[in-house]
Chain A
């Protein structure tokens, strides 16, 4: 290594893995992901120790949950498309539309799930199954809600023109979080809705 310095142009802040914010979001996702592992573990443990069938009230209906899953997955694709478009064309208006679309789909998810919950034959405090079911799906719903707040903030910043050439990491990171929420839903949905269909 020489003693001589030469000058280089380096990015400021950086995007994706060059930025530090990306790694921070990765840590957040890691810790939230393991939370869902523990939620699924608790659900499975209580099920394994249960006397009698699990779920006690029979497998939950897929009538609302399956279309809802499709809605959430679509919202992820929509957001991913929007972010990719923005990277290419830097069009704030189009980005805003994509964000609005994602927010609408996300809100629909929460609303439909709310209806589905209201129609359950059990309440949070009914028994061990209902506790495990509602905390698993409920913690997920809370993450969706936080994701929606994040998307709203992104929308506001888009409309304020804060996403210029150099810095739109917030966008990528918000999208990363939203994708995470969707992937987790696949795991939650499989555990709470699909597996009981087959056992």
Chain B
């Protein structure tokens, strides 16, 4: 028996719709706690920041196209490169992946929503307001200008007067709240909000990737929040954390920042690698090879990621013993990455490739992953890093890993899940043009940077002399960047066109195996009319893979299954084996997350302007709203639920 798919129409489904639907109008828009709405908001807002960050880069590439150009002043250049890095690293990369996970997790896990829907909404609003907070500085000409890494003393008040770095420090603390809150939500959702039978060895790798990244973020973000608080205090309250005049130490900033920063970059790529691990096999018409190895390697990479931060500080003059340890650890961390690469290639090799646009993005990703990986391998060597660090070689490396391992899977992932989210297919022909334009443009832009780096071109420079010999390579990079931008434009045109007139998608246009493809496209607001009972890793391929005789029970095949329609409800399960053990009541629409974010915005602007009254106002708002949010509501103690054995 194969799993069947839901169809709209019965009284039961109408009842669920009534329970779960978001209110109409502006109130519903502000108060929605539906994970699908929030997921799409994340995706759109993050993409918007990608375009802004990309535009900043294009302007920089015009300035750098030839030696000694005067398109930008050094001050303008410094603001642009700082905002480019900050935007991409904080406002695009993680929120984009959060968007995918927010939308997909409950669907993939067979649940009706995330564990904490209001917290979910809060993490989005805080992200939006923190992004606005950071960008309000731009029109004032006071955008952060000390680099996204903000080394002291360059970013101390003495060398960076003006509010630029206050915006940076407070903005990152603000944004960190969104990240931590979102991470907690993912962890608890994964542990408890799955369909019965969705045991840990049946989870999609995207879920493993996001879970790992979330656990890491919980532990890493406080380091940068603390560092930023110290920076702000040094700047505005005369403290001496980093200020040498009172015994402060500049390297403390670097330690705290990179203790955060290195795990962070793995958080930016592991979920995207999960996207590939889940979606590539669909276009190879077979399960992922080495699922367990890939899941373990995901976790191993993240754990090792906490032990390599000093490799960003190899030239600071730290004791050789510690440099040697961190260099060795930086080599070791490549081992789990190798597991992934060979697993993906093995999946293609033993599979039957279906050459769609997503497949192209995922195959291209593998090559870019390896190039980015080997340039990282070269920098892991502390002795050679003493030449490579702070040159364009690092710029090449970081862009290969960030665009190659985040952006390419993201675009491929959008092509893959767009039909599910919108009910329409993206245009395949335009999609293929998009891929090749982006792939050629990206390599033309960033491959030459390996060469300019080996030729000694330093990074973070607004210009370079003509006798450095890197003029034509920089011109090639600049042209490549614009070609890549054309690719992004083609993608946006594809999205706009297809939203209006794309081919209708149906429930499972790709014949993919996981639970989200068992719903309609787009899914009903309650996801599943009856909670599925999961029997394998690939519920919709079970009958054909024949790994066992057990079959998942999904949709119309479960007429007497777990309906949970006494209010907004979903099932809670045990963490490892996913046995149902509690009925979870989900909140309805709530304006409180939006209001809480407004309160936070007031608080942070108050701190920026050092206006005590505004800070107090913000804090009081927060306390009142939190009291309302957390007030216990009466509910039944128990409920009768239909459970499969």
Interface residues of A (CB under 8 A from B): 1-14, 18-20, 23-24, 27-28, 30-32, 34-35, 38-39, 41-42, 45-46, 49-51, 56, 124-132, 135, 149, 153, 156-157, 162-168, 170
Contact assessment for A20 and B188 in the assembled complex, using a CB-CB cutoff below 8 Å: yes
Contact for B240 among A10, A49, A128, CB less than 8 A: A128
Closest to B623 in A: A149
Closest to A50 in B: B247
Q: How far is the CB of A47 from chain B (nearest CB, A)?
A: 10
**In the assembled complex, which residues on chain B have CB atoms less than 8 Å from the CB atom of A50?**
247
Given known A1-B550, A10-B582, contact A128–B635 (CB-CB < 8 A): no
> Does B221 have its Cβ within 8 Å of any Cβ on chain A?
yes
Q: How far is the CB of A169 from chain B (nearest CB, A)?
A: 8
Given known A24-B188, A34-B219, A45-B249, contact A131–B240 (CB-CB < 8 A): yes
Can you give 25 A-B contacts (C-beta < 8 A)?
A1-B550, A2-B645, A5-B561, A6-B643, A8-B640, A11-B637, A12-B638, A13-B635, A19-B582, A20-B116, A20-B193, A24-B119, A24-B188, A27-B183, A27-B187, A32-B222, A34-B222, A41-B255, A46-B241, A125-B246, A126-B246, A135-B230, A149-B623, A153-B630, A162-B634
Contact assessment for A35 and B222 in the assembled complex, using a CB-CB cutoff below 8 Å: yes
State the CA gap A38–B585 with chains docked (Å): 36
Q: How far is the CB of B604 from chain A (nearest CB, A)?
A: 16
Q: Chain B 186-197, CB within 8 Å of chain A: the 1/0 string?
A: 011001110001
**In the assembled complex, which residues on chain B have CB atoms less than 8 Å from the CB atom of A24?**
115-116, 119, 184-185, 188
State the CA gap A20–B241 with chains docked (Å): 39
User: Given A1-B550, A35-B226, list of 20 further CB < 8 A pairs?
Assistant: A1-B535, A8-B580, A10-B580, A10-B582, A10-B583, A10-B639, A11-B638, A13-B582, A14-B581, A20-B193, A24-B185, A27-B184, A27-B218, A31-B222, A34-B219, A127-B247, A129-B247, A130-B239, A157-B632, A167-B634
State the CA gap A157–B533 with chains docked (Å): 38
**In the assembled complex, which residues on chain A have CB atoms less than 8 Å from the CB atom of B249?**
45-46, 49, 128
Contact assessment for A23 and B191 in the assembled complex, using a CB-CB cutoff below 8 Å: yes
Given known A8-B641, A31-B219, contact A166–B635 (CB-CB < 8 A): yes
Contact for A20 among B115, B230, B561, B637, CB less than 8 A: B115
Q: B residues 222-269 with Cβ under 8 Å of A?
A: 222-223, 225-226, 229-230, 233, 237-241, 246-249, 251-252, 255-256, 259
Most chain B Cβ neighbours within 10 Å, of A46, A51, A56, A149: A46
> Does B343 have its Cβ within 8 Å of any Cβ on chain A?
no
Contact for B631 among A3, A14, A157, A164, CB less than 8 A: A157
State the CA gap A9–B225 with chains docked (Å): 45
> Does B349 have its Cβ within 8 Å of any Cβ on chain A?
no
Q: How far is the CB of B191 from chain A (nearest CB, A)?
A: 6
> Does B467 have its Cβ within 8 Å of any Cβ on chain A?
no
Closest to B184 in A: A27
Most chain A Cβ neighbours within 10 Å, of B193, B225, B561, B584: B584
Closest to A167 in B: B632
**In the assembled complex, which residues on chain B have CB atoms less than 8 Å from the CB atom of A125?**
237-240, 246
> Does B373 have its Cβ within 8 Å of any Cβ on chain A?
no
Contact assessment for A162 and B247 in the assembled complex, using a CB-CB cutoff below 8 Å: no
**In the assembled complex, which residues on chain B have CB atoms less than 8 Å from the CB atom of A18?**
572, 581-582
Instruction: Report the count of interface residues on B (CB-CB < 8 A).
Output: 69
Q: B residues 552-597 with Cβ under 8 Å of A?
A: 553, 558, 560-562, 572, 580-585
Closest to B566 in A: A12
> Does B355 have its Cβ within 8 Å of any Cβ on chain A?
no
State the CA gap A56–B550 with chains docked (Å): 70
Contact assessment for A128 and B640 in the assembled complex, using a CB-CB cutoff below 8 Å: no
**In the assembled complex, which residues on chain B have CB atoms less than 8 Å from the CB atom of A30?**
218-219
Interface residues of B (CB under 8 A from A): 115-116, 119, 180, 183-185, 187-188, 191-193, 197, 218-219, 221-223, 225-226, 229-230, 233, 237-241, 246-249, 251-252, 255-256, 259, 533, 535, 550, 553, 558, 560-562, 572, 580-585, 623, 627, 630-632, 634-645
Most chain B Cβ neighbours within 10 Å, of A19, A31, A149: A31
**In the assembled complex, which residues on chain A have CB atoms less than 8 Å from the CB atom of B643?**
5-8, 10
State the CA gap A4–B115 with chains docked (Å): 28
**In the assembled complex, which residues on chain B have CB atoms less than 8 Å from the CB atom of A10?**
580-583, 638-641, 643
**In the assembled complex, which residues on chain A have CB atoms less than 8 Å from the CB atom of B115?**
20, 23-24
**In the assembled complex, which residues on chain A have CB atoms less than 8 Å from the CB atom of B637?**
11-12, 165-167
Contact for B645 among A6, A23, A129, A132, CB less than 8 A: A6
Contact assessment for A12 and B642 in the assembled complex, using a CB-CB cutoff below 8 Å: no
Q: How far is the CB of A134 from chain B (nearest CB, A)?
A: 8
Closest to B559 in A: A5
Contact for B239 among A8, A49, A131, CB less than 8 A: A131
**In the assembled complex, which residues on chain A have CB atoms less than 8 Å from the CB atom of B631?**
157, 162
Contact assessment for B255 and A45 in the assembled complex, using a CB-CB cutoff below 8 Å: yes
**In the assembled complex, which residues on chain B have CB atoms less than 8 Å from the CB atom of A45?**
249, 252, 255
Closest to B584 in A: A20
Contact assessment for A42 and B187 in the assembled complex, using a CB-CB cutoff below 8 Å: no
State the CA gap A164–B632 with chains docked (Å): 10
Q: How far is the CB of B119 from chain A (nearest CB, A)?
A: 8
Contact assessment for B553 and A3 in the assembled complex, using a CB-CB cutoff below 8 Å: yes
Contact assessment for B635 and A12 in the assembled complex, using a CB-CB cutoff below 8 Å: yes
Given known A35-B226, A46-B247, contact A23–B642 (CB-CB < 8 A): no
**In the assembled complex, which residues on chain B have CB atoms less than 8 Å from the CB atom of A130?**
239-240
State the CA gap A56–B240 with chains docked (Å): 14
| Smallest CB-CB A-B distances: 5 pairs | A128-B247, A166-B637, A27-B184, A125-B238, A35-B222
Contact assessment for A128 and B241 in the assembled complex, using a CB-CB cutoff below 8 Å: yes
Given known A20-B572, A135-B230, contact A11–B180 (CB-CB < 8 A): no
Q: How far is the CB of A11 from chain B (nearest CB, A)?
A: 5
Contact assessment for A4 and B222 in the assembled complex, using a CB-CB cutoff below 8 Å: no
**In the assembled complex, which residues on chain B have CB atoms less than 8 Å from the CB atom of A31?**
180, 183-184, 218-219, 221-222
Contact assessment for B218 and A34 in the assembled complex, using a CB-CB cutoff below 8 Å: yes
**In the assembled complex, which residues on chain A have CB atoms less than 8 Å from the CB atom of B180?**
31
Given known A7-B643, A9-B640, A128-B240, contact A23–B187 (CB-CB < 8 A): yes
**In the assembled complex, which residues on chain B have CB atoms less than 8 Å from the CB atom of A153?**
627, 630
**In the assembled complex, which residues on chain B have CB atoms less than 8 Å from the CB atom of A5?**
558, 560-562, 642-644
State the CA gap A130–B234 with chains docked (Å): 12
State the CA gap A44–B638 with chains docked (Å): 51
**In the assembled complex, which residues on chain B have CB atoms less than 8 Å from the CB atom of A3?**
553, 644
**In the assembled complex, which residues on chain B have CB atoms less than 8 Å from the CB atom of A163?**
632
Contact for B192 among A8, A20, A149, A156, CB less than 8 A: A20
Contact for A128 among B222, B246, B255, B550, CB less than 8 A: B246
**In the assembled complex, which residues on chain B have CB atoms less than 8 Å from the CB atom of A12?**
582-583, 585, 635-639
